[in-house]
Chains A and B, each alone.
Chain A
Amino acid sequence: MAGQDPLLQIDGLTLQIARSEAVVVDRVGFSVSAGEIVGIVGESGSGKTLAARAVLGLVPPAIRRAAGSVRFEGEEITTMPPKRLRQLRGARIGMVFQEPMTSLNPSMLLGEQLDEGLALHRKLKPAQRRELILDMLRRVGLSDPERALSSYPHQFSGGMRQRIMLASVMLLRPALLVADEPTTALDAVVQRDVLELMVGLTREHRTAVLLISHDLGMVARYCDRIIVMCKGEIVEQGRAQDLLAAPRHPYTRKLLAAMPQRGPSRSFPAGETPVVAVRDLVVDYPGRRILFRQEAGKRALHGISLEVAPRQVVAVVGGSGSGKTTLGHAIAGLVRPSGGEILFGGKPIHRSEAGYWDYRLNCQMVFQDPYSSLDPRMTIGGLVDEPLRFVAGMTGGQRAERVREVLTEVGLGDSFAGRYPHELSGGQRQRVAIARALVRRPKFVIADEPVSALDVTVRAQILELFAGLQARHGFSCLFISHDLGVVEQVADRVVVMSEGRIVEQGTRDEIFDAPKHDYTRRLLSAVPALESAPNGGVRLLWRLDGEAAERDRREVLTAGMSA
């Protein structure tokens, strides 16, 4: 591209909050050339979304541009009259948003929605537009595009909607596509399919892409260049492979170090009685009752059997709707199973028996969302103390001592006891949730997506904390997650679920190195394996759904790439 002007050129862009003058994007400058895929990576609050929105002039009214310029095809966007800006949007610069559930108009037929942009920006006859739309829908993988035209968005799944969104944007063949966390709301397998499609489509049309994400692995896979943002500033930018192999800025190194890596393999003596075992567990959700008619229910779990040995971490992996959360809830006693049994220490437990209470006290849970799993009206001390109500024979002094001890263990310390949840960050709250689960020293903990709501670096800290506590107290754990990277780091055994059934289970190394089931392979192909390089860099190895074990690992990105 030497000698040619870049497609997009941003210089010294500074954005402030209009009221407080706080700087949210600080002297950001980068460029995107035609046909290039550039990724912006950062954690929440890094200003990556605002910087990208400035490209379309879509900065919210509370934010003011203090300085800097945004030039697109040589034209200054920041001072452009609204009319000219509207001509650019859609036609020359397209945007794909994060939430496919809300970015399509739910009350409009897809045909009309797709036609809107074309009718506005292209002078074509309706029949020609229809032909273009059908072509594009076929291209993004819809099996019956004719019928899709007269359907509403809610008739499609999240992944399909994101494909349709992509189709509607690419219909106009924009020169630049801004994709703001386009696959964060989707599960791993679908995520990969949508991204592959996006990259394929944009390559065909030589559309440049500005991909915004918190997921460094994903960005590294698809982008030519990466920009790392932190607290409103660009800390580092460069070619993807260089940046990964030899990060210069400490923050980039921190991000790379936070990527989950395989933990050590641990062996467990055979023949130990499992702490918790589940046999043929069936859970049905009843259908809605309308007057006297009962609608057909839905079977969420079709006979699940698994065992968790003492001190073992068993991960349950699956996409959304696989029944993994229902499994956790059923084991924790939140959902009543309609068949099968749960064994605790080898003995079946029943709700009416004395053993059930002992089980309930020994089985604790860490929930996904640290913002809703803590009662906002209770202090941290009160929250952590609450489970101790049921520990017989503990004096007030002993309870206070235990609360202090646990708060210190999770890295919060005594000073937090008097604070309220809203005064804490997401990571701190999740520490409180962990303290609450562990304060009674349970034998078994169910962790339901405990880190999926957290930022990358915070996630790494929480995982480290969790592993440390698990090694120290030796509780068994059922770790529910959709994120295979996290699972690879913490799990001893892995159970793969799909549509309410277990499709494959085995030790962590078996599942990750020699997956047998097709669904497991597809899951694995979406996450990279990491290999540490010296000086804080990493190599990403992508596991592909190939045939032979050797060919399963194809290097998409290597540190050297010297050839």
Chain B
Amino acid sequence: MKRLSLNTVTGGALIAVLLVTAASGALWTPYDPLAISFRAKLGAPNLAHWLGTDEFGRDVLSRIMAGAATSVWISLLTVTVAVVLGTAIGVFSGYVRGWVDRIVMAFNDALLAFPGILLALGLLAVVGANKYGIIVALGLAYAPSVARIMRGTVLSLREQEFIASSRVIGNSEGYTMLRHVLPNCLAPLTVLATSMFGWALLAESALSFLGLGVPPPAPTWGNMLASSRPYIGQAVWLGIFPGLCISMTLLGINLLGDAIRDRLDPRMRGTA
């Protein structure tokens, strides 16, 4: 077995912490993340409240754990929407080629020209600012890049002889696509999905920060960061901990994403 690099271990550990936090946040938190207590308002970190309390006296640790669950859930669903939609479009477009491909890709390129977050903002205005609105909006915003990469992969795959071989056997186009083309697209797709998970997490935080995300009082890292802004002078921990969570998670995802790419790409194997 190959020795794991420091980066892989660090990335893996950070993501493991995130997932454990999110899972426990969904099941159990030290305090009720929504319970208001004006007596404990803006409390500094102490033994009872490890990460302090916010302007309503809610426990920050509990809110971060609950927020992690929400954020991870939203990001996962966003990536799923983007991958399913983008793969369907990209594989179809790359496989049929011709004028269908040209029209689909022209539309796709037009969408790619918008920054993802801007596209999501516009879509949110239509579908409404809530948990599912974010998932749909971000999913739609990210689908074009998946579609583009999938199309490229399919274009190179379909020139391989095993695709011709599948047709000679008598397999239908649809079956060939599902059985032979799609599984061979998995490597680039996994890498893309990993990094997209990071983008989605960040975009969700940004949208919540702008007040377009999950509506309060439900906690997410983004809206915690947003609501901490007025108190930055008196209670710096309100901003620091959610911010730290976001950056650590992104770092973890990027490190892990690199490791996955190296492992899946045969050209990267065997080099130091």
Contacts and interface: CB of A to CB of B under 8 A. Distances in A.
Contact of A386 (B160, B169, B184): B169
A387 B169 contact: yes
Interface string B152-163: 000000001110
Interface string A363-380: 111011100111111000
Contacts, number: 53
B165 A367 contact: yes
Given A377-B183, A377-B184, A372 B170 contact: no
A386 B165 CA distance: 11
A386 B170 CA distance: 10
B106 interface: no
Interface in A407-462: 433, 436
A118 B165 CA distance: 50
A386 B175 CA distance: 11
A334 B180 contact: no
Contacts of B183: 375, 377
User: Chain B contact residues (Cβ within 8 angstroms of A): what range?
Assistant: 10 to 19
B161 A334 contact: no
Contacts of B166: 375, 386
Given A334-B164, A373-B165, A436-B165, A360 B180 contact: no
B20 to A, nearest CB: 32
B168 interface: yes
Nearest to A386: B169
Given A375-B180, A376-B184, A367 B164 contact: yes
B167 interface: yes
A365 B165 contact: yes
A372 B161 contact: yes
A396 B183 CA distance: 24
Contacts of B161: 367-369, 372-373
B184 A375 contact: yes
Contact of B170 (A334, A361, A433): A361
Contact of B168 (A334, A368, A369): A334
Interface in B136-181: 160-162, 164-171, 179-180
A357 B170 contact: yes
Contacts of A369: 161
B229 to A, nearest CB: 50
A333 B167 contact: yes
A357 to B, nearest CB: 7
A364 B170 CA distance: 9
Contact of B169 (A368, A376, A390): A390
B155 to A, nearest CB: 15
A332 interface: yes
B105 to A, nearest CB: 16
Contacts of B169: 364, 386-387, 390, 436
A390 B169 CA distance: 9
A334 B184 contact: no
A376 B183 CA distance: 9
B167 A372 contact: no
Nearest to A388: B169
A361 B169 CA distance: 7
Nearest to A289: B99
A390 B171 CA distance: 9
A528 to B, nearest CB: 31
A332, A375, A386, A390 — which one has the most chain B CB atoms within 10 A of its CB? Answer: A375
Contact of A365 (B160, B168, B171, B179): B168
B245 to A, nearest CB: 37
A334 B164 CA distance: 7
Contact of A360 (B162, B170, B186): B170
A363 B168 CA distance: 8
A329 B167 CA distance: 11
B162 A374 contact: yes
A332 B184 contact: no
A433 to B, nearest CB: 8
B201 to A, nearest CB: 30
Contacts of B171: 386, 389
B184 A387 contact: no
B161, B171, B184 — which one has the most chain A CB atoms within 10 A of its CB? Answer: B161
A109 B167 CA distance: 44
Contacts of A386: 166, 169, 171
B249 to A, nearest CB: 32
Interface string B37-80: 00000000000000000000000000000000000000000000
A372 to B, nearest CB: 5
A333 B166 CA distance: 12
Contact of B162 (A357, A361, A373): A373
A456 B137 CA distance: 59
Interface in A344-363: 357, 360-361, 363
Nearest to B186: A377
Nearest to B167: A334
Nearest to A332: B168
Contact of B160 (A333, A372, A387): A372
A387 B186 CA distance: 24
Contact of A372 (B162, B168, B179, B186): B162
A532 B226 CA distance: 89
A387 B170 contact: yes
Given A360-B170, A372-B162, A436-B165, 12 more contacts: A333-B167, A357-B170, A360-B168, A364-B168, A365-B168, A368-B161, A369-B161, A373-B161, A375-B166, A375-B179, A387-B169, A390-B170
15 contacts: A357-B170, A361-B170, A363-B168, A364-B168, A367-B164, A372-B161, A373-B160, A373-B164, A375-B183, A375-B184, A386-B166, A386-B169, A386-B171, A389-B171, A436-B169
Interface of A: 329, 332-334, 357, 360-361, 363-365, 367-369, 372-377, 386-387, 389-390, 433, 436
Interface of B: 160-162, 164-171, 179-180, 183-184, 186
